[in-house]
Amino acid sequence: MRQDRSASAPRFARRLLALAATVTLATAAQAGDLEVLHYWTSGGEAKAASALKATMQQKGHTWKDFAVAGGGGDAAMTVLKSRVVSGNAPAAAQIKGPSIQEWAREGVLANIDDVAKAEKWDSLLPKAVSDVMKYKGNYVAVPVNVHRVNWLWANPEALKKANAKLPTTWDEFFTTAEALKKAGIIPVAHGGQAWQDFTTFESVALGVGGADFYKKAFVQLDAATLNGATMEKVLTTFKKIKDYTDKNANGRDWNLATAMVIKGEAGMQLMGDWAKGEFVAAGKVPGKDFLCAAAPGTASAYTFNIDSFAMFKVKGDTKAQKDLAAAIMSPDFQEQFSLNKGSIPVRLNMDMSKFDDCAKLSSKDFVETAKTGALVPSIAHGMAVPPAVEGAMKDVVSQFWNSDRMTAKDAMAKLASAAKTK
């Protein structure tokens, strides 16, 4: 079932939303109370989120954790929408990418320019990032980190057992997958959920088609590109991966797939670097217990996913919200959070000496790809297109992954129409 991540709602709900905005103002959070809606519930995610909770408690605020389980955040966004419509918005929520604009358009987000100006955010963030955090030129959200999505994680012991190498191209990927299969090891750990299917799909698209193809297809939503020969190659390469996943993959949570690689039950996982947070939480060392590498064919490209929090309008004391926004962009928190989360800081000019080689590679590539134009937004993680289009495209890709009858040409036609979803 497609989760509609958009805040925009039919006319009657818009009226409800407007009413909710006033009701919310009336039932303002007490000074110092801070209810935060997020979806960081796995080992690494929860550890990283607890750093934010501790920071706010040290400032004397009461942190009310409203965590909605479900990787990728679709469930959390559904809960958030129902809470706002019923006039019970949290003080802050994990909202990111184009949906920030949708929520701001509903008139329910607070302006945090005073914090942004006092803390000089414009000089501390890449413009491409600060623009996403603003609505009509005013800050309404604060960025937390930068996740790279186009990663491949591998268990070196499993590769050794299979006498296989870490793949850098898709041909090598399938050779390695075949060797792992022969060695009796699940080649690819996967969770059959729409956002995970698309996370894999977009890395294949980037590796097979390249950054220009990716942007034309998934940012410009160009019909000819969505229906072209390269897209057909992307889809057939993507579907071939399924042959190397296990029969219990359907519905599996992403962090349980990561655990399969940690334990050596599986050899590889295609996932963003929040997966590194799971390896780190399990006490694993990069380069020794696990390997990180760009997803095949994507070493000179970077799919970004920037987590952020938006503040909802509350009446009365907004100090807790402003302290939250300032804390998130502080150097200490930026370092502490990403060390646990597997991401890199979004704040510029941070000291990376405490970070591991995977993070240092991510930081280097983030800067380089911003210059070459190979820095692309993740569709799967709400960076590229409006939520309604994202949801429709995820449905098509998951239908194709799960169907034995749907052809690549069928999927291409469906992607082209999904791109027109309003």
Q: Which stretch binds ligand GAL (CB under 6 A): 4-12, 39-47, 105-113, 125-133?
A: 39-47
Q: How many helices and strands (H and E) does the chain possess?
A: 19, 14
Tokens of 210: 């390249």
Q: Contact between 302 and ligand GAL (CB under 6 A)?
A: no
Which positions from 68 to 107 touch ligand GAL by CB under 6 A, shown as an x/- string? ---xxx----------------------------------
Which positions from 228 to 257 touch ligand GAL by CB under 6 A, shown as an x/- string? --------------------------x---
Q: Count CA atoms within 13 Å of residue 296 on its CB side.
A: 26
Q: Contact between 191 and ligand GAL (CB under 6 A)?
A: no
Tokens of 270: 């295609």
- Determine the residue type at 318: T
Q: Contact between 307 and ligand GAL (CB under 6 A)?
A: yes
Q: Contact between 337 and ligand GAL (CB under 6 A)?
A: no
Instruction: Show the 3-state SS of 277-315.
Output: HHHHHCCCCECCCEEEEECCCCCCCEEEECCEEEEECCC
Rounded to a whole number of angstroms, the minimum distance from the CB of residue 198 to ligand GAL is 11
Judged by CB under 6 A, the residue of 305, 308, 334, 421 near ligand GAL is 305
CA distances from 286 to 4, 24, 162, 276, 354 (A): 37, 46, 20, 9, 13
Rounded to a whole number of angstroms, the minimum distance from the CB of residue 277 to ligand GAL is 8
Tokens of 154: 């591998």
Rounded to a whole number of angstroms, the minimum distance from the CB of residue 266 to ligand GAL is 18
Judged by CB under 6 A, the residue of 24, 34, 35, 40 near ligand GAL is 40
Give the SS3 label for residue 225: helix
Sheet containing 375-377: order of strands? 147-148, 302-305, 375-377
CA-CA-CA-CA torsion for 341, 124, 93, 332, nearest 10 degrees? 50
Q: Contact between 274 and ligand GAL (CB under 6 A)?
A: yes
Judged by CB under 6 A, the residue of 45, 356, 390, 395 near ligand GAL is 45
Which positions from 52 to 71 touch ligand GAL by CB under 6 A, shown as an x/- string? -------------------x
Contact 176, 159 (CB under 8 A): yes
All residues at 6 or more sequence positions from 238 whose CB lies less than 8 Å from its CB, including other chains: 200, 201, 204, 205, 397, 400, 401
Q: Which stretch binds ligand GAL (CB under 6 A): 5-13, 37-45, 120-128, 150-158?
A: 37-45
Rounded to a whole number of angstroms, the minimum distance from the CB of residue 66 to ligand GAL is 15
Rounded to a whole number of angstroms, the minimum distance from the CB of residue 397 to ligand GAL is 16
Q: Return the exposure string of 398-422: e unless at least 16 CB atoms fall within 10 Å of the residue's CB, then b.
A: bebbeeeebebeebbebbbebbebe
Q: Is the dihedral of CA 270, 252, 197, 219 positive or negative?
A: negative
Count residues binding ligand GAL (CB under 6 A).
Answer: 12
Q: Which stretch binds ligand GAL (CB under 6 A): 22-30, 38-46, 288-296, 367-375?
A: 38-46
- Toward ligand GAL, which CB reaches closer, 40 or 139? 40
On the 0-12 / 13-18 / 19+ scale of CB atoms within 10 A, 371 is exposed
- Toward ligand GAL, which CB reaches closer, 305 or 321? 305
- Toward ligand GAL, which CB reaches closer, 197 or 307? 307
Binding site for ligand GAL (CB under 6 A): 39-40, 45, 71-73, 147, 254, 274, 305, 307, 381
